[in-house]
Chains A and B, each alone.
Chain A
């Protein structure tokens, strides 16, 4: 078997999710090639070549892939992927965008968002917002798969020595063009891969109060997230949303502040190793999944939490 992993990156660095996807590929078993498609991605290809378990890195370096337009990436991956038994990428917004095009162009099904590998053709994935877990067998000759990164422990980023091969395949579908983007600028770790996440909900009352969480986050090296209620109320932007329709996170420590624990939020964080809930409503469902619950007014508890952390960190 031979597996093609499409690297996730932003043209400046390799995303850690790629290492989780390589781990999923290792669980399937076989030679693992990584395709790095983007613009000026030489350093990313070198980083991918060092990842544990990678045989070969293929590089498609061209402006047509610079903004990861699904129409162009879809054609590229469908052509390169034809020779492989499995094509895998991360279930981030880029992978979710182009991968179904690859499957359709190859006339095969896609298995979305897998969290476990049972065998080379059988995979486990959540359905109904994580309220049910399905084991699915794929019968197509090429398995096209998106991987939920939190389902797999990443392979080592260093130690590998894969060969790097430049591809001369330029696919410009001519259907779409990049207009612009607004990226949130933050010095904090990436929400999806942070070791500690502190999230606020409707109980935060407004966006300004999230500064309290940011101060705690900076102390702990954490990312800041939010519930859908906080996003819908306009406190914070949508890319901070943790839940079924936002980011799926599984950090070592998840601190839920003023979050009631709606099922759609739990779908996004219940695989966290340790969950802390701070909420003044002791009946809040979040306490049913929390390892440590504190029934308290968050406006008193969070500043105290910051002070206590300063003593021990």
Chain B
């Protein structure tokens, strides 16, 4: 079966985020960019499904500027077979991303679509669920285990208070949580091979989707910073302060 994986180019998770002085956003000039960590887990899961003989082909798609092709190449080096780049320099919000991915799903007809549960820049946690709703598919969000079984997929989900397993009809959408797997690193020979793998570029207009943001960001500020308090000498002083100064016990 064919698996479609969506990946996003975001600020590298090790980079310290700085808000621009004019409060229009976060400073991304000359900042290291990388594949969103949850998307790496999505690629890894697809590759494992292929290694198990469950998946036959892995198509990786990314929406974003020209440079997003770097992340598609990374996914190809990790084991995806083919790339699709939907090129746009505009801000693409979750609903539009889901509409673009829906158009790709209609063309490619994958049995399983795997996405990260959220991107570490906008922290929305929406696109996978929206794609599932728009395509009429079931969804297994925040997955910690994915087992394909005939025409169904069983997804174990990380939920408040524990784990929950659902069975979904295929095709279905899965979004990844952190503990689904540990992504591998791409080997040098595979990085070289990835350069020769096919990568189609297209525009949102080619897919018949108009980018019309519904949300506008009025300002972006740094969070209020907490002041460091005092060091206490011992446990007795700590308990005394909590009881008589902070009055929280």
A residues neighboring B (CB under 8 Å): 67, 69-71, 74, 92-94, 96-101, 103-105, 107-113, 122, 126-140, 173-184, 190, 192, 196, 220, 228, 237-239, 244-245, 247, 252-253, 270, 273-276, 282, 287-296, 301, 304-305, 308-309, 311-313
Contact = CB atoms under 8 A, between A and B. Distances in A.
B11 to A, nearest CB: 7
25 contacts: A93-B142, A96-B142, A100-B128, A104-B133, A104-B134, A109-B93, A109-B95, A131-B17, A132-B222, A133-B220, A135-B220, A136-B218, A139-B214, A140-B214, A175-B138, A176-B167, A176-B168, A182-B162, A183-B161, A237-B162, A274-B248, A292-B241, A294-B234, A304-B234, A308-B235
A127 B130 contact: no
A129 B232 contact: no
Contacts of A92: 160
Nearest to A140: B214
Contact of B243 (A139, A228, A312): A312
Contact of A252 (B19, B125, B133, B248): B248
The A interface, classified by DSSP as helix, strand, loop or mixed, is: mixed
B229 A293 contact: yes
A140 to B, nearest CB: 5
Interface string B78-113: 000000000000000111001000000000000000
A93 B95 CA distance: 20
A97 B158 CA distance: 11
B232 to A, nearest CB: 5
Contact of A305 (B172, B219, B239): B239
Given A101-B132, A104-B133, A173-B138, A308 B236 contact: yes
Contact of A97 (B141, B226, B229, B232): B141
Contacts of A180: 164-165
Contact of B228 (A69, A74, A93, A287): A287
A311 B232 CA distance: 19
Contacts of A308: 235-236, 238-239
A93 B168 contact: no
Contacts of B226: 270, 275, 288-289
Given A126-B223, A296-B234, 5 more contacts: A71-B138, A99-B129, A110-B126, A239-B158, A239-B161
Interface stretch (B46-54, B57-65, B116-124, B186-194): B116-124
A126 B26 CA distance: 12
A190 B160 CA distance: 10
Contacts of B121: 127-128
Contacts of B162: 181-184, 237, 239
Contacts of B67: none
Contacts of A96: 125, 129, 141-142
B248 A112 contact: no
Given A69-B166, A184-B162, A270-B226, A301 B235 contact: yes
A195 B122 CA distance: 29
Interface residues of B, number: 76
B230 A293 contact: yes
A137 B142 CA distance: 28
A275 B168 CA distance: 43
Given A132-B220, A176-B168, A110 B124 contact: yes
B130 A103 contact: yes
B94 A100 contact: yes
Contacts of B164: 67, 178, 180-181
A168 to B, nearest CB: 23
B219 A103 contact: no
Contacts of B231: 282, 287, 292-295
Interface in B142-189: 142, 144, 154, 157-169, 172, 177-179
Contacts of A175: 136-138, 168-169, 172
B157 to A, nearest CB: 8
B29 interface: no
Nearest to B244: A312
B216 A139 contact: yes
A130 B5 CA distance: 27
A100 B129 contact: yes
Contact of B160 (A132, A138, A239): A239
B122 A104 contact: no
B242 interface: yes
Contacts of B215: 109, 111, 136-139
B160 to A, nearest CB: 5
A149 B122 CA distance: 19
B139 A112 contact: no
Contacts of A109: 93-95, 214-215
B244 to A, nearest CB: 9
B15 to A, nearest CB: 10
A41 to B, nearest CB: 18
Nearest to B245: A292
B133 A101 contact: yes
A294 B242 contact: no
Contact of A93 (B19, B136, B160, B241): B160
A65 to B, nearest CB: 14
